[in-house]
Amino acid sequence: MSNQLSERINNLVPSATLAMAAKARELRASGKDIIGLSLGEPDFNTPDYIKEAAIQAVNDGYNSYTPVDGYVELKDAIITKFKRDNDISYDHSQIVVSTGAKQALYNLAQACLNKGDEVILPCPYWVSYSDIVKLADGVPVEVATSIDTDFKMTPEQLEAAITPKTKMLWYSSPCNPSGSIYSKEELRRLADVLQKYPQIVVVSDEIYEHINYGVTAHASMGAFEDMYERTVTVNGVAKAFAMTGWRIGYIGAPAYIARACNKLQGQVTSGANCIAQRAVITALLESPSRIQYMVDEFKNRRKLILGLLNDIDGFKCNEPEGAFYVYPDVTAFFGKTLNGKTINNASDFAMYLLEEANVATVTGDAFGNGNSIRISYAASEEDIREAISRIAEAVGQ
């Protein structure tokens, strides 16, 4: 029988982060000693007070369908969190709980984009943004940045990228993969440009909000009065609460957009997992200081990995201010032949590191910036030391 798959799925590129993690798993199963620094996944356990809330929910008999857009008590907790951490006021009609921030983003693309609508993506952007946009027949418009501007988009670049077809702007701050954070002043300058283009909806992905190393304070586009009506604030518990597998993300949005996402979910998932939702009520209502120990540890690891990488000629690192990735520019290796293998681009380099150093990273091409590779330091200190020492050896140092 011929291939009966849709063009849509045939054209879809697999998630590079998940693909690399799967490849690392496969190689490990075949006996190779692979160190996985490809996936953005904390190596911590979910904190006990959150686990206990989930166990309590099971024992209390939470097993039925939840409201499609989330339990009222969870929405209350999310409203409290947005007010407490971001100074944004939302009501129940503006909150939608989803199966991870990834589904929240997918909902937004499906809810807002018509064929040919353009979405501005400052590069590097999180790997799935462009494909989620394409799945909704939108057109990603990549805005190149470089390590010299700490991978941030300037107001001039934003303005130059806007066309009559621009419908949305999507970015993450702290940024996956660069770790860069837009300060309140920088966001204000972007918002000033957007004042001239009231049709543009902003998606501010703040899932790494709490993983902030204290240089630039977290700021939210939705907190600006003149942006509130057209900003969607995306967040989730996967990263800061070490809850990747629990699959809960959420948005605060203009009510008409929240309604649209709710309608979509009602036909697609019926809502997020009930036990995980109950646990997230506790995660969000407890003080963020309870998860600071993980942030402190990530900060130590950041220092460690930056020190080790900066000792290798050819790795040029920015200092990430948040999240748990380094995104070194590795263009110095392009055109070189190492151990008989020619490195032409970041994908070749990431593959070389996997094969020669047994270290899994992710090519920068997946993030719309082909000069870098992404290395996650959400791994043990021991693994980080061993991985970077293997990388140094593989590049002949």
DSSP 281-306: HHHHHS-GGGGHHHHHHHHHHHHHHH
Read off φ and ψ for residue 166, nearest 5 degrees: -65, 125
Least CB distance to ligand PMP at residue 244 (A): 5
Closest CA to 239 of 40, 19, 20, 37: 40
Nearer to ligand PMP, 211 or 350 (CB): 211
In angstroms, the CA 285 to CA 267 distance is: 30
Peptide bond into 177 cis (omega under 30): yes
Q: Tell me which of 79, 95, 127, 248 binds ligand GLU, using CB under 6 A.
A: 127
Residue 172 interacting entry, from ligand GLU, ligand PMP, none, C-beta within 5 to 8 Å by type:
ligand PMP
From the list ligand PMP, ligand GLU, none, pick the one residue 18 interacts with, judged by a Cβ distance below 5 to 8 Å according to partner type: ligand GLU
Buried b (16+ CB within 10 A) or exposed e, 341-360: eebebbbbbbbbbbebbbbb
Which of 124/333 has CB closer to ligand PMP?
124
Contact status: 323 vs ligand GLU (CB under 6 A)? no
362: β partners: 374
User: Six-digit token pair at 233?
Assistant: 């604030």
Going from the C-alpha of 130 to that of each of 126, 142, 169, the distances in angstroms are 8, 9, 12
Contact flag: residue 176 with ligand GLU (CB under 6 A) = yes
Calpha distance 314→334 (Å, rounded) = 10
Nearest to ligand PMP of 107, 172 (CB atom): 172
Residue number, 93 or 244, with CB nearest to ligand GLU: 244
Residue 186 C-beta: closest distance to ligand PMP, Å: 18
Interface residues toward ligand PMP, by CB under 6 A = 40, 100-102, 126, 172, 176, 205, 207, 236, 238, 244, 249
* Rounded Cα gap, residues 293 and 346, in angstroms: 34
In the complex, minimum distance from the CB of residue 213 to ligand PMP, in angstroms, rounded to a whole number? 17
Closer to ligand PMP by Cβ: residue 174 or 312: 174
* Least distance (Å) between residue 101 CB and ligand GLU: 8
Vertex 233: Cα angle to 137 and 248 (nearest 5): 85
Largest CA distance in the chain: 62
**Nearer CB in complex with ligand PMP: 17/358:** 17
Residue nearest to ligand PMP (CB): 100
User: Considering the rule CB under 6 A, would residue 172 count as an interface residue with ligand GLU?
Assistant: no
Q: Which residues contact 357 (CB under 8 A, 6 or more apart)?
A: 387, 390, 391, 393, 394
Picking from 99, 367, 38, 95, the residue whose alpha carbon sits closest to that of residue 244 is 99
Contact range with ligand GLU by CB under 6 A, out of 13-21, 61-69, 80-88, 258-266: 13-21
Residue from 306, 334, 307 nearest 321 by CA: 306
Q: Is 15 in the site for ligand GLU (CB under 6 A)?
A: yes
Q: Which residue, 145 or 361, has its beta carbon nearer to ligand GLU?
A: 361
Closest approach, Cβ 221 to ligand PMP, in A, equals: 15
- Selected from 40, 124, 236, 249, the binder of ligand GLU by CB under 6 A is 40
- Residue 240 engages ligand GLU in binding (rule: CB under 6 A): no
Q: Closest separation between CB of residue 283 and ligand PMP, Å?
A: 13
Q: In 3-state terms, what secondary structure has residue 28? A: helix
Please pick, from the candidates 18, 27, 135, 304, the single residue that binds ligand GLU as defined by CB under 6 A. 18
| Chain residue at closest Cβ approach to ligand GLU | 40
> Of ligand GLU, ligand PMP, none, which one does residue 273 interact with (CB within 5 to 8 Å by kind)?
none
Contacts of 240 (CB under 8 A, 6+ apart): 208, 209, 210, 211, 288, 291, 294, 295
Between CA 91 and CA 254 the distance in angstroms is 10
- In 3D space, the residue among 72, 47, 96, 130 whose CA is nearest the CA of residue 235 turns out to be 96
Q: How far is the CB of 102 from ligand GLU (least distance, A)?
A: 6
To ligand PMP, the closest distance from the beta carbon of 101 in angstroms equals: 4
Residue 249 interacts with, from ligand GLU, ligand PMP, none (CB under 5-8 Å by kind): ligand PMP
User: Least CB distance from residue 126 to ligand PMP, whole Å?
Assistant: 4
Residues that bind ligand GLU (CB under 6 A): 15, 17-18, 39-40, 102, 127-128, 176
